[in-house]
Amino acid sequence: MDGAVVVGVDAAQPPLPAVDWAAAQAVRRGADLVLVAAVQPVGSAEALTGYYVQQMTRELQEQAVAAIDDVTRRVQAEHPRLRLVPRVVEDHPRRALVQAVTEGRAQLLVTGARRHNPHRRGLFGGLLLGSTSLFAVAHAPCPVAVVRGPEPPSGGVVVGHDGSPAAGAALGFAVTEALARSAPLRILRVLEPLQRLAIDDDEDNRARAGALRVQREALGRLCAELRAAHPDLRLDCEVLEEAYPADALLRAGEEAELLVVGGRGHGAFYTALLGSVSHDVLHRAEHPVVVVGDPGRRRARPDGVQSEAPPQMT
């Protein structure tokens, strides 16, 4: 399983686009594809109901095995040379997925997500994504792809970059993806409109222009380095000013094959409440999104699940 692509299989639903997307990723990377179906244990406090609990657990396990078998046949028919590793685990789905990528040092975790109103924004917007995907993004020690629907056939890779360590990791992932796909890469640095900096309008405009110029110069230097390192990479770099940075990223990602963002490492609950850009993008995007966390913010817990440093509310 080392370096594998891991994808969750939901026994209660037909195969989601996430499975097809994960299979294509595994083929592109020359990696194994690990299919994980989790059966959540059914507890009972009364001995008299023990029989029914056992029966229910057995039925759930049978459903999971059937789902894994069906997905395995489907993927093998499409990718006969791809090595599949089916697993049925008795555990909570979100914990089972994170445990699978942790134990196997997987290079990518893929989860599905239900459809919703893509224009909805609000305090609890991130909760629309679903607890499994949120938990995976917050705790998986590898990049996490959330796939709500199939990717467009072309359009390149878009990545958001704000200069943070997590954005740097996201950029590295995006460069690798663009090169592997022979696709163009668009780097966006999105700035929220600057607050009024001076009483005098002219002075305020000069300050705004200066702040934007600094950002454009910084991004320009970064893109020059990338062009020197990867002469074959088709690259477009742009600094935008937008009240809601996620809106700019979503517009850019509408026709893109893949949208990549960095994860701040707040954890699922904090991220939902704080409304971070990455989670705003995640719960509203219609096409695949990959969240790449800052490796320096994660630390291992004794149970093998990765936790994160306490959130910094800046």
Helices of type H across 79-155? 93-104, 131-139
For the domain that residue 295 is a member of, what is the CATH number? 3.40.50.12370
Q: Identify the segments of the chain with pLDDT beneath 50.
A: 1, 117-118, 120-128, 265-275, 299-314
Residue 120 lies in a domain: yes
Report the number of distinct structural domains present in the chain.
1
DSSP track, 235-293: EEEEEEE-SSHHHHHHHHHSS-SEEEEEE----HHHHHHHT-HHHHHHHH-SS-EEEEE
Residue 303 lies in a domain: yes
- First and final CA of the chain: distance in angstroms? 38
Which of 133, 143, 210, 214 lies closest to 172, judged by CA?
A: 143
pLDDT 10s digits, 234-256: 999 999 888 788 899 999 988 89
C-alpha to C-alpha distance for 100 and 77, rounded to whole angstroms: 25
Q: Is residue 298 part of a domain?
A: yes
Do 141 and 242 meet the contact criterion of CB atoms below 8 Å apart? no
Residue 211 domain flag? yes
Instruction: Give SS3 for 36.
Output: strand
Structural domain span for residue 160: 113-308
108, part of any domain: no
DSSP secondary structure, 135-156, as one string: HHHHH-SS-EEEESSPPPSS--
Structure tokens of 269?
A: 């609950």
**How big is the chain by its Cα radius of gyration, in Å?**
21
Within-domain flag for 123: yes
| 137 in Cβ contact with 268 (< 8 Å) | yes
Report the C-alpha gap between 41 and 297 in whole angstroms.
32
Dist. CA 10–CA 36, nearest whole Å: 9
Question: What pLDDT, on a 0 to 100 scale, did the predictor assign at position 20?
Answer: 93
